[in-house]
Structure 1
């Protein structure tokens, strides 16, 4: 205030706080005790003398202007914040895709035209119903819209409506949108009657089949390509001729590929899609894929099958209704990519039959899954009734690449079987199995998988003598196959499950020459029938040596495959062991327990396999030009080509190999199963054999004897350049090692449930010591106590995570494959 105003002394009775805080006196000598009457604004006259004396930029005006400035700034900030939040919410859209069947509306051909009055009328009705359902739900403030994409006929009658539902909300609240929650709101809105026990109920006046309601979370890209402006190469096909093949081809040379093919057949028929070839850029389902749906929109729960790698093998799939959607996605195309396929209209098959089996030896007929050789659709059901002419005859079923076992509580992934009221689960494998039912009347029922289409099944049938399931002079494998008795206990696994070699009892001769009881001299056949080798030491005749036999210094020949390098002195002077070339390296005694950097040079047989210049898998040196690895490293058209592969030998730090060779040949085991990782073994031949001058840095590891039995609890080592932890993004630059122990096979089976005799488990049940991604194909090395040699006991194959408690690593059991290895690498004999 001005000084003169501050000197005035107001009367105590008239003093008010409000007056003090706002009144400014500009006339000298006037007391502030009473205010003058306010004059009309229009008649007010400015006091020129006062305006001259009062500066505009006084303290009070500054405060007022500053407050006004802060207010404007706050309004602008709040507006910008609101716009940002609003924009953010519009980005965080959640898409749900679904369908349901309306039973009280008859299908019209005009519904196929989205511009028609009939389609728009149905679409408007369905959208109004869905709007009402969700605007009155707990998600009402987030609900944005529903869009009807297709209205089609179906084999059950009425209309099949495909639609999208869109919600918008801040990203932080997106977790409340669970699929089950959104679907439950729609299903709970359908009013059904308990009295008539039907699944059809009323949804705001629409008669909706509750069993047909499907609702899944969808992708923005799928929404844009089916509804929005970014529709890409979407095509609609309507097929009504049974004798025609409708081509389905698309190709692109650059850019982005996102195609949707909607296939619709006449009512009462199904669609069979046959894929002749498909080219995709990647070997995974994240970026590139072809997916087949049992609907007209990409509804995840209706997916029939998904292809994620290039193929030129004819594959065909059958729908469960008169419609199908085929999507082909490739976000970035570097070369010609596309699909060559065709589809056709086929009638529905009834999979049931009564079969009279004759009294003849062998198998006389075949049954198969529906639509064989196509992949059979989910939820199919087949019934067969077999009858033999005699009560002494039963039914034998020979499954091709398939087997059935007693059903467990876990359920059946590849169909379940009911055979004379006993339940079984099916699984795929790479050999035949025989299942025998000791009854002249057999009722067989197949219930297909309820999730996806599955590989076609072929089963031969015939009769057999119940009292003698296998012919005389033969042995019955646990898989049901019959082999000649002479092939049992011969060291060769004639039964695919090893049952001919397991629990064998061979009759050994007495090892005292006086009680041999043989009329003539003993023959040196190369087999140590006596523990002390007396049957070989005292023999007088020897067998001639063949190319694959080893000749001792005393001219005795050993024809058995595991005579050399097995740690047993078969030759009296041990010459077959002295000339063995596999590693006796002892430097690994100084290793660090628990997974750490290995000492340089400790594992001279360790190999790093590089695919297109990057470390991809591991392998083991078994000879100068052959490596042993895992089959799954080379699964796929691109990976099975040896051209992009190089082998790095004598390496400690990635990039510093002592020897590098291109891969000349990749031999994947012919029975390898990519779904179960059974027979997960492969041989690699080098283009250039590593030189003898590097034998101090590169050494082969010993192959175990065929059928070698390992002991649980035995300590072994796993090595590689793979990830140090499950969550790591890249492998280790330095070769790592970890000590693990062999796990009992029974415990391994109880942990994973799908362990075959060609697998073994190793690890630490408490976790934290294990192989991981990038170590695949590498060695599980065990040191033999008898001679200190290192044996390639296992190959890194698969497992649940890396180093997780109670989930040890699963390895390929190398001893099972010794005959197979010798077939390609005879120099190891």
Structure 2
């Protein structure tokens, strides 16, 4: 935990009676967490009388010293100020597998600690020395602490300082990112393994720029203290000077607190008194022994309400207008401290001009005037889309609405009166359009005969019939083909041999439920097929889906090697099943990978055939938290306009680096491939399926790759419609997410896995 303060004016109780205690975990490692450091009391200075002779004796050397100091400052000012030098601090950790952790590495005064710290510092210098831009600006590196890593190895936490010309700051950031292997917008984070001398083997390196507020030259860093917290023990720490004096300005303090093996810590702040400006006063908690921004657990600054969990449903675009200057609002809540909270926003307005500079919806919602007549229902009641004059890029619907032209002939009635689906070279009025594009008289639908030839005119009827087999019909195990659309596992036996209902222990949710960008937290067990794939020492990288007790489906681009890391090697991966919160991996089932099978035709440039299989080293026990999703047959139809779900722990917004802690879920709509290809610059192949919310704000993002896109089918079962693959940014308007179409790989999956 770090606490930094830059201005006077805070009362004595900036932090009081902070306590933490230990609770056991079923399994786990030591979890290091930084904490506050107390500062020593200020010493009082007293004036003394000094004789004239003593003043001369003291004054001359003092004057010379002042002259030398001023000269030095001028040189420094000229050299650094006018050459624009910037101080950059990077923090991170190295994973050392060639050393075994012991308690001696917890104490910075031991010989073992000092020797290993020296080796790590030299190793960092060697690593930076391989990049000229880093080596010439590197000032030095210091080890901040050691903790126990996987397989009893050691994690070394460090701070590295660079003195960088202002014009090269971005280049240095990029050079450091290259060491860390940070990927692009839809790819996983990449690490690397290397051995730089005969004594230390470095399995991975993670680094990032230190919070700029902590890198200020005017901060006075107090002595760092460490503490080892033990099970069933509660300790109290207090902010510097409390309760006798105010917190000093420009002071940066730290605590490092370690847990016993197989335990975790609970840190409670009883009193927080912070300045309003977050630049001047803040508290940060890290899951690290160095202030690494990639391992921030929480930050508190400014004036905040208590951290209450808000997880209820927000009514879409709902505004209640009270046309008086008084209102009474009553909230009803239960007595739980951890269940759903509530939140409301209010805004006062001038009755004669309720939406200054904005468009007033009929429901009194105020939206940007740029959203008026753009084809999207931004108000929620369509009032922003009424009475519009369509431009050349829009469809003019017969009902007066304007819709984006790329929605024409996509198979979805976007206008509401079917204007956008007329004159599309389809069937005439009173005709039925078959899936094979044939047109038949509408009265022939559901007449018991296969008039289309592919059975589609009988596919959604009360009774299924036997038809000639084609690429669009479902084939039973006895080689009989039936007309019914998507008959597999719908709760009704349609095949004479019952094979359509024979393998249906999949796709059910044991729990009933009421970032993914624009998503919300999932409930425990809500998505039991969701898997978190971790690269050892790097944390969560990709998602995957359980399809049996031994096999997972993920994206091929998640398991492709690069020049720094062998992602195709099974021993690099850890698989967490039944996981909800990334901070509670010890509660989930950990498995390792025996075999990785990437599709042989995967194209890393186009992301075509972006699918891979993982075999676990041993079968996992299926339960209410771990359950396979249903695999669709090649003939399964996921039509445009169908609502589907995407889930994952990826980034919550495109512009941030941190991934979600709790599994996120979001509902999106399948988009016609012809329309999607236009939106995505003709980069869509028939083996891809598009889904999203074209108005923006809901999408998969970095860290979601390989995860599932699932569709709720007949009988409530969920089928794997797609695998998160790629996209242009995250949640951008008219830029849907692109997924691997699973129906195209059903035979390949069965051949490789037997599932």
When the two structures are superposed, what TM-score results if normalisation uses the length of structure 2? 0.41
Bigger strand share = 1
Question: Which structure has the larger Rg over C-alpha atoms?
Answer: 1
Which fold has the larger relative contact order, with Cα–Cα distance below 8 Å and residues 6 or more apart in sequence? 2
